[in-house]
Amino acid sequence: MPPILLASSSPYRAQLLAKLNLPFIQASPELDETHLPHEVPESLVKRLSLAKAEALSETYPEYYIIGSDQSLCAPNGEILGKPHTVENAIQQLSLLSGNRVTFFTGLSLISPKSCSESMAKQTVVVPFIVHFKELSKAEIEAYVRAEMPLDCAGSFKSEGLGISLFEKLEGEDPNSLIGLPLIKLCQLFSNVGINPLLMQKTSTKP
């Protein structure tokens, strides 16, 4: 089984990756995630997802390393990341209320240094469209108090009560909203000869 490293301390991404039933470890990269001047969300997540994986490649040279990053652009042009505070979360959801927003997830897979250079670094960006309901101030404040989505880009948890904020979702993979687009990850794995379906251990009864 090839060793796999998730370059993130996020429990949400770990829960998603665990769905593939492949053994992996986690490590958090030390990285400045500030966006560059005039950088758009799609470019930001592409750059940061690869940077997160690259930041750990020297420490874990024989691992397949997964990096991921998320961002979206509010209707006023502001790039929204993790809110970190209740006040920021309320402000973000107020900006998103009643709007159609494209949420971008960057995904990178770095192969071990001993592997072929042709697929050494793979990076993709997965878009997902979210249609927000018209939300009252009371609804936004109640939601933030209930789930405290302070470590989630856009200030919502679509796998929980956050689903009640939406009118409609459009995209290839709803897992991308939570933090890790598994359909695309399986494709990147396939490009380097990793097939999760063929790497499952057969269960045996005692």
Residues 40 and 18: their CA atoms lie apart, in Å, by 31
Tokens of 205: 């009864």
Residues 81 and 79: their CA atoms lie apart, in Å, by 7
Give which of 117, 98, 2, 120 is closest to 50, Cα–Cα: 120
State yes or no: is 69 an active-site residue.
yes
Residues 145 and 77: their CA atoms lie apart, in Å, by 26
Residues 75 and 79: their CA atoms lie apart, in Å, by 9
Residues 24 and 47: their CA atoms lie apart, in Å, by 23
Stated as kind and residue range, the H or E segment containing 102 is: strand 100-110
Residues 113 and 48: their CA atoms lie apart, in Å, by 20
Active-site residue, from 32, 69, 151, 173: 69
Report H helices in the chain: 11-17, 41-55, 86-96, 137-147, 175-178, 182-191
Which residues are catalytic, by number?
Answer: 69
